[in-house]
Amino acid sequence: MKKIVIIGAGFAGLAALSRFYNYNKRQGLEVTLINDKQQFSFLPLIPDCLGRGIATEHLVFDLAALSYKKNFNFIKDKVTALELVKKEVSTSVLTLNYDFLIIASGSETNFYGNAEIEKSAFKLDDAQDAAYLRQALDEKDYDAYLVAGGGYTGVEVATNLRVYLNKRKIHKKIIIVERSSSILGALPEWMKGYVLADFKKIGIEVFTDTSIEKVTGFSHPMLIWAAGVRTSDFIQDLKVEKNSQGRIKTDECLRVNDSCFAAGDAAHFSYKNNFLRMAVQFAIMQGNCAAENIIRALNGKSLMRYKPVDLGLIIPLANNKACGIILGTRIQGYLPVLFHYIMCIYRTYGFKNKLGIIKDLIAGR
Ligand SMILES: Cc1cc2nc3c(=O)[nH]c(=O)nc-3n(C[C@H](O)[C@H](O)[C@H](O)COP(=O)(O)OP(=O)(O)OC[C@H]3O[C@@H](n4cnc5c(N)ncnc54)[C@H](O)[C@@H]3O)c2cc1C
């Protein structure tokens, strides 16, 4: 029986699993999923746990229960090393051989080696992080709220904080600190303008060309770190071509080599002289394509090329505003807010979770 190992139970890993599940109804494969947490976390609604009161329990899905239903082995452990030549994956307690591997371990917050900040700052890598952050907001008083990083996550988090504080009539400063010369990186100027105009209205300050090394000048500030991501340590140690974030460069079929594929945030896929941004839609399509290519390889068929389809992107702001580009068309106001939540509810796992999210959005605690 051929052994397939998938590292990471995010969007890419679970999309690959679905493809193998359908194939396995007819053919026998031994599929093993390794994830460092017991649960899948639905990341796009993590900031909404603050401003819209979405319960973190509605953003997780138990992987042991899924493994029973979808007939795969689940190992809850962190992958610490990968030997591409020997075809071996090692975790803290065991080493597994594989015939085919999919690296779908996503990305995690990058503190750039600043241990002091790592100890004191909040991050948003999963639902548990959002629960800690929400609990701290509920239980402690802060004299200012600092968000490091003016990318998608930083922008969403800042507006959610403002909505959270407004509901409790707390009038404190929210400041985004961005290292580069503008927020939202390579996004079009009109989107940056839209977001900045909203920030002005709801009271979010932005400092650009500034990096946080240490926080001083406030007696009890909350610092949320959304200033960059990196790939897992075992990828950093791999001797393969990577980009500056440590994402693995793949070929057009998502191969790292003949028996190893990479998908989602862990993969760097060149497209139209650029690389694909980190997004759920690409992670799902790549997870599916990597699994499809393994099935093709097992059956001696030629592999399919991954052809990205970009449906667009939305920057949702917690005060019921959003801007974005959908199917090449500019969109702003309330409509993209609706699109965003419809897509999130559609993409999340579990009927109970979908219902829970809808109820939480209506209640808006
Ligand atoms: C706060 C936030 C909001 C976002 N909002 C949006 C949005 O609105 N729209 C959008 O398209 N995208 C959004 N994104 C980006 C999107 O969530 C990612 O692009 C997507 O999750 C990538 O999927 P993935 O499967 O590659 O990785 P992930 O979903 O990150 O999953 C990777 C999995 O691998 C596990 N893992 C990591 N390292 C190891 C290891 N060494 N051993 C074992 N397991 C490991 C992780 O715990 C995780 O379970 C958001 C991201 C964040 C953080």
132 close to 47: Cβ distance less than 8 angstroms: no
Mind listing the pLDDT tens digit for each residue in 297-334?
A: 999 999 999 999 999 999 999 999 999 999 999 999 99
243 close to 217: Cβ distance less than 8 angstroms: no
Q: How far is CA 96 from CA 72, 93, 306, in A?
A: 15, 10, 28
Q: How many angstroms does the Cα of residue 107 sit away from the middle of ligand 1?
A: 6
Asked whether 13 lines ligand 1 (CB < 6 A), one says: yes
Q: How many angstroms does the Cα of residue 106 sit away from the middle of ligand 1?
A: 5
How far apart are the C-alpha atoms of 329 and 343, rounded to whole Å? 17
Q: Please tell me the pTM assigned to this model.
A: 0.95
Q: What confidence score (pLDDT) does residue 365 get?
A: 66
Residue nearest to atom 23 of ligand 1 (CA): 11
Whole-number percent of the chain with pLDDT over 90: 92
Asked whether 178 lines ligand 1 (CB < 6 A), one says: no
Asked whether 279 lines ligand 1 (CB < 6 A), one says: yes
Domain locations along the chain: 2-36+77-107+231-298, 115-228+311-363
102 close to 261: Cβ distance less than 8 angstroms: yes
Q: What is the mean pLDDT of the chain?
A: 95
223 close to 143: Cβ distance less than 8 angstroms: no
Q: Tell whether domain 2-36+77-107+231-298 is in CATH 3.50.50.60.
A: yes
Asked whether 124 lines ligand 1 (CB < 6 A), one says: yes
What are 23's two structure tokens?
């194939």
Rg of the chain's alpha carbons, rounded to an integer?
21
Mind listing the pLDDT tens digit for each residue in 134-164?
A: 999 999 999 999 999 999 999 999 999 999 9
> What band does 25 get if pLDDT is binned at 50, 70 and 90?
low
| Topology of the domain comprising 115-228+311-363 | FAD/NAD(P)-binding domain (3.50.50)
Helix pair 335-347, 351-363: axis angle to 10 deg? 150
